[in-house]
Amino acid sequence: MEFETVIGLEVHCELATRTKIFCSCLNEFGGEPNTHCCPVCLGMPGALPVMNRAAVEMAVKAGLALNCQIAKFSKFDRKNYFYPDLPKSYQTSQYEYPICLKGHVDLDVNGEPRRIGITRIHLEEDAGKLVHGEYGGTMLDLNRGGVPLIEIVTEPDLRSAEEARVFLEKLKADLSYIEVSDCKMEQGSLRCDVNVSVRPVGQKEFGTRCELKNINSFKAVVRAIEYERDRQIDLIEDGEEIKQETRRWDDVKGVSLVMRSKEDAMDYRYFPCPDLVPIVLSDEDIERAKREMPELPDVKKARYVRELALPEYDAGVITGDKSLAAFFDRCVALFPNAKMISNWIMGDVLKKAKEYENGFDDMKLDAGAFTDMLKALDAGKISAGGAKTVLDELLTGTGKSVGQIIEEKKLAQISDTGAILKIVTEVLDANPQSVAELKAGKDKVMAFLMGQVMRASKGKANPQTVNELIRAEIKNR
């Protein structure tokens, strides 16, 4: 029997506000444990929360980026549960009236257009962090308690692990463009729970779903979904029933394990938060947020294709990363050969970016120096190999100019026709057999002769000039 996988995601994203959601403690990753806390975010009796306006504005922008309806009225509820990382024993969240509803994200999954529905986005506070093992037992760090979060809930519209990965990449790009989050999965500012079920192809009703928690990289999302899909299909094929349960993904072992089953699923007993007034937004508030929205990746991508004639694929890769797109924009302003810039970015630059912990962001490549290198290459002053050497040198961060590097590393190509002609003549004189073959139409010999000239010039002759001179010289023989 053929099966179809049905996936829905719940993505938690920490907002990049300066302070926490309901108090003035700093919202900062790391720091000495329990130094960014106060009676409000520790949930002391009598302490009163006050809504952070910046968090509301960011949630609205996230909603706009994901094509949501922005609710003019939303309010907070208490989600009651006990866990050591939550001293209040309730999380202040939005249940009945979330801030954003009914959006969608358009994806291109290997050339197939797909629209994924967004059910809702709600605002809530993050819990603290339990640190296991470092000092023997378990330690509690509440610096993260009260950090503003948005939870983005999708419709069960995703159909494969690959689609889920493409969705998350897109979501990450959208959210970082509007600067509401740094979206660093490894620091926990983007976290994801995955709902997975399977059903026979053609069946309308959904199968019983399982929720996977504790997934902290895009790669892990893919592995977890594929594992869970196979596990459920195996159960069905063995004639067993799938139980609705919450499972923890263990990325090291590559397995999911039961955390809790439906029978003891928590009843959160949501009730209205008596401490916070509802959020009421005016038309003007929403219009202002719309005006402040930057050019989003999809719009930028379409513009690159339309105005710069970049291939769709290149435009997609470059706009998929906010800082890469900003770098590309700076380069195009300095050197209007968009395709050449994109070729180098997609090739050498991104290949080298893999050697850095945070990829391209860590490379600190200067657009001015990078385009100086491309200009030298374009003008035939250096060879493609020489250009790679210049790029390597630029990345060492010595601050040397491209001109200095070309001089110090002796990368300047010989474009002086006289000097090259001398070498060409010598090489042709020394290889009469090849000259005869070339004259007889054996064009393969050309590569050999080119190679000889390039070697004699220590790789510095301009290949195009060499090619032209050999062809011209052959005619005279």
Give whichever of 41 and 317 is closer to Zn ion, judged by the CB atom.
41
CB of 50 to Zn ion, least distance (A): 11
Instruction: Tell me the β-bridge partners of 224.
Output: none
Which of helix, strand or coil describes residue 133? coil
Burial class (CB in 10 A: 0-12, 13-18, 19+), 463: middle
CB of 48 to Zn ion, least distance (A): 12
Give whichever of 87 and 320 is closer to Zn ion, judged by the CB atom.
87
Radius of gyration of the chain (CA): 30
CB of 44 to Zn ion, least distance (A): 10
Amino acid at 327: F
Q: What gap in Å lies between CA 178 and CA 282, rounded to an integer? A: 21
Residues 366-395 binding Zn ion (CB under 5 A) are none
The pair of structure tokens assigned to 21 is 């959601």
Give whichever of 103 and 148 is closer to Zn ion, judged by the CB atom.
148
**Total site size for Zn ion, rule CB under 5 A:** 5
Give whichever of 23 and 318 is closer to Zn ion, judged by the CB atom.
23
CB of 20 to Zn ion, least distance (A): 5
CB of 23 to Zn ion, least distance (A): 3
Q: What gap in Å lies between CA 358 and CA 232, rounded to an integer? A: 36
CB of 38 to Zn ion, least distance (A): 3
The pair of structure tokens assigned to 192 is 């994801």
Give whichever of 37 and 376 is closer to Zn ion, judged by the CB atom.
37
Nearest to 6, CA basis, from 161, 158, 218, 167:
158
CB of 32 to Zn ion, least distance (A): 15
CB of 87 to Zn ion, least distance (A): 12
Give whichever of 38 and 286 is closer to Zn ion, judged by the CB atom.
38
Is residue 192 within 8 Å of residue 168, measured between CB atoms?
A: yes
Instruction: Tell me the β-bridge partners of 13.
Output: 150, 190
Please provide residue 441's backbone torsions phi and psi, each rounded to the nearest 5 degrees: 95, 5
Q: What gap in Å lies between CA 351 and CA 434, rounded to an integer? A: 39
Give whichever of 38 and 276 is closer to Zn ion, judged by the CB atom.
38
Give whichever of 41 and 225 is closer to Zn ion, judged by the CB atom.
41
Nearest to 388, CA basis, from 407, 408, 404, 374:
374
Instruction: Tell me the β-bridge partners of 8.
Output: 195
Residues 14-73 binding Zn ion (CB under 5 A) are 23, 25, 38, 40-41
Burial class (CB in 10 A: 0-12, 13-18, 19+), 215: buried
Q: Which residues bind Zn ion (CB under 5 A)?
A: 23, 25, 38, 40-41
